[in-house]
Structure 1
């Protein structure tokens, strides 16, 4: 179900985040939906539009990612907008503008994927070869899978829309599916995508290896440890293409992009397509607002040589001696958004192995990440029990992905929100359905406790 103001837009806007020739098209390019996807060129343009929606400021550009880290325990809000403080306080209300913007942006991404999936199979242009057609469909399936995965872990069960929304009345009245049904749709789309995609390496565009990454994360959340280990391992063993960069900052400092660290990142050119994260993190002296900043606890962890190691490059001090985050720093704002780094594969496999009692192998994966950070290896003595090993992995994830959107979702999915955040009301483990959606479609119901 899409917010009414979006559904009234019957034009499919195909603005794009630029990356090489694939995504390098004119910004704000729009054509009527009835005219789209009639040949190879328009099919590619429509696919670019899916990536553009994924990279938009309200999805992986800023808003959705901010839910993941503002809701954790690493970040403080230095501004005055009470709606942002709601995430810090773990008391998000249904009229929160960030969750509303993220919901709309994610469903916009789904809708664009639905257009590709509905129309590309019917195109008969000889230039749209079977290989190209399969690839376009596979990419759309995988991005739709990610979108529903993000909706499920944020809001619980949501309406499953698999047909394009063109008119305001299209897809109206679809009730929420259960969270299990929503996750089942994620797996269905990933399974559909996998055989359609090439086994090439592309850090900006979905391939079969990208699906391996998304499946590793999916199975981690589903606590299917054997499959999480399997799919994470497929990336780790591809050492020619995926490696932990040394030192830690090598994957993002000095204008680095598309390094061996990256499994999937989103490209921004800083002019027609801007990653708005930069302005939120950088201090005023660097042209930002520093409205989001590392809190004292995170600064202490990152600057502790035994915990942060060389990951201390994630923070710096401004001219007023205040700490700020450095992951997004480029001017103009062309910083990538990182959807999946190879470090995540190592820590997924470490957790999956630990859960299966494979202590030695789990420690090896955990220590690979620690070694890249310049830390000494943990031993079976320091992680003598399964719980101790899992806690070490959790703590490593907190620091490794300190400014990325993992912490909140990690603590919730492991059932530790009460112990870590003091959040004892399980209704607060997922966020409310935005009130605008409830008003727009009476078929929708609110999450309990809101």
Structure 2
């Protein structure tokens, strides 16, 4: 039986107040699919799915923080033990932050499952086929992204692809292999691409958003030709996607949904992005419990490495002199977007794919496009090894506060060299202890 899964599905769709899953009685379980009965309720469910993606425990702060704090460039300045474990790369299976992210991602998946199951059966005459396809495509895309995040964070996981209506619906479901988990991601992306509209939308999934995530997916799977070709589809669409100058143009001065952004989550005064609270110092309305480390500050402030990317950090006035991150700064409203895919990533994906394909001149051109936008002189990297290191260094500074660093080091097998962590079992997060207790079919990651 999977009490955590079926109750979280119910909570996410019907808006039941948050409680620990072990405190919720099975008698409160209902068929949440009944909530999707016509075009309007389907649209409400899809809007809610994006809210789940942007929730505090997912892209609203917590999931990205797993990468921030694990990657070595961000320090934890607070007193709570769970984030400190992550920053020290000494995570235990009862880590609350890890558990919250796991549950938030599965909550998102299970809500997507209800939409995928219910929408094709609706006979509402006001529900046009194109709109049905869009909603289905969005649900497939978000489920693909969710399983992608589980795969890179925890390895192979349980693949739950149908709604959970009663206790025991998915009893006996074992963890799939990493390869099978990634295969499910690609299957969902392919379905999404067939269903989604072709236009440009920076806050909702379209075919273009699928291409961008496919580029990242194929990079992780080391399928270089496919990574490059999907990245090129975005890069060559210059009418809609561009590297903006200077670097700060995509976030400064209350910018949102700019041509730099392929996919970002929008927030409002009633649906806030919690990042600013953790990054900004108390003088600016935050708690500054995540802060750039000294080496990152030095690299960003060095004109030869940071260029105009130094705009992403600032320092408080004396006597504090505290460095802090400025990507999320819209206090007290909390309306900063959460950036999931930017054009710069597509350039660096294509650069890496080209380097692996022995196309050094083309790889260097992509690296230098990103450097030029940052106000940096061109790189002269020539060998494959030099190109790959240059890409790693650019990603480090380009996405300093966007949850990329740890996953990128794991993907490229650079954790031991860069961070000194040699136990490869620790390159994935632990399956939460309470989930293991709740589900006898779930197994832990080795080493935890």
Compute the RMSD of aligned alpha carbons: 1.5
1:10 positional shift: 3.4
Which 10-residue stretch deviates more, 166-175 or 429-438? 166-175
What does residue range 177-326 of structure 1 map to in structure 2 within 5 Å?
A: 177-269=176-268, 271-319=269-317, 320-326=320-326
Moved over 6 A (4+): none
Matched, 1:377 2:375: no
8 Å Cα contact 2:14/2:32 also seen in 1:
no
Q: Partner of 1:88: helix, strand, or coil?
A: helix
Q: Show the counterpart of 1:340.
A: 341
Distance 2:31 2:413 in 1: 46
Structure 1 unmatched runs, 5+: 16-30
Q: Partner of 2:184: helix, strand, or coil?
A: helix
Q: Show the counterpart of 2:329.
A: 329
Structure 1 residues 32 and 172: CA distance shift in structure 2, 3 A = closer
Structure 1 residues 316 and 441: CA distance shift in structure 2, 3 A = same
2:422 to 421, 424, 429: 424
Q: Show the counterpart of 2:399.
A: 401
1:69 positional shift: 1.2
Q: Partner of 1:80: helix, strand, or coil?
A: coil
Q: Show the counterpart of 1:355.
A: 356
Q: Show the counterpart of 2:99.
A: 100
Distance 2:315 2:103 in 1: 36
Deviations 1:347-399 (A, max 9, x none): 000000001011010011100000000001112xxx13110110001000000
Matched, 1:366 2:364: no
Deviations 1:23-66 (A, max 9, x none): xxxxxxxx972532211111111111111111110000011010
8 Å Cα contact 2:33/2:118 also seen in 1:
no
1:2 positional shift: 5.9
8 Å Cα contact 1:14/1:45 also seen in 2:
no
Q: Partner of 2:75: helix, strand, or coil?
A: strand
Q: Partner of 1:184: helix, strand, or coil?
A: helix
Distance 2:12 2:309 in 1: 42
8 Å Cα contact 1:2/1:107 also seen in 2:
no
Structure 1 residues 8 and 290: CA distance shift in structure 2, 3 A = closer
Structure 1 residues 12 and 429: CA distance shift in structure 2, 3 A = closer
Distance 2:398 2:345 in 1: 9
Deviations 1:202-247 (A, max 9, x none): 0000000000011000000000000000000000000000001100
Q: Partner of 2:339: helix, strand, or coil?
A: strand
Distance 2:413 2:306 in 1: 25
Structure 1 residues 189 and 8: CA distance shift in structure 2, 3 A = closer
8 Å Cα contact 1:10/1:167 also seen in 2:
no
1:410 to 399, 408, 411: 408
Q: Partner of 1:339: helix, strand, or coil?
A: strand
- In the alignment of these two chains, the number of paired residues is 431
Distance 1:43 1:346 in 2: 36
Deviations 1:105-129 (A, max 9, x none): 0001001100000000000112111
Structure 1 residues 447 and 128: CA distance shift in structure 2, 3 A = same
TM-score, structure 2 as length reference: 0.94
Deviations 1:238-277 (A, max 9, x none): 00000011000010000000000000000001x2101111
Q: Show the counterpart of 2:20.
A: none
Structure 1 residues 2 and 346: CA distance shift in structure 2, 3 A = farther
Structure 2 unmatched runs, 5+: 16-29
Structure 1 residues 3 and 100: CA distance shift in structure 2, 3 A = farther
Deviations 1:262-294 (A, max 9, x none): 00000001x210111110000000111100000
Deviations 1:81-121 (A, max 9, x none): 12111111111110000110001100010011000000000
Q: Partner of 1:49: helix, strand, or coil?
A: helix
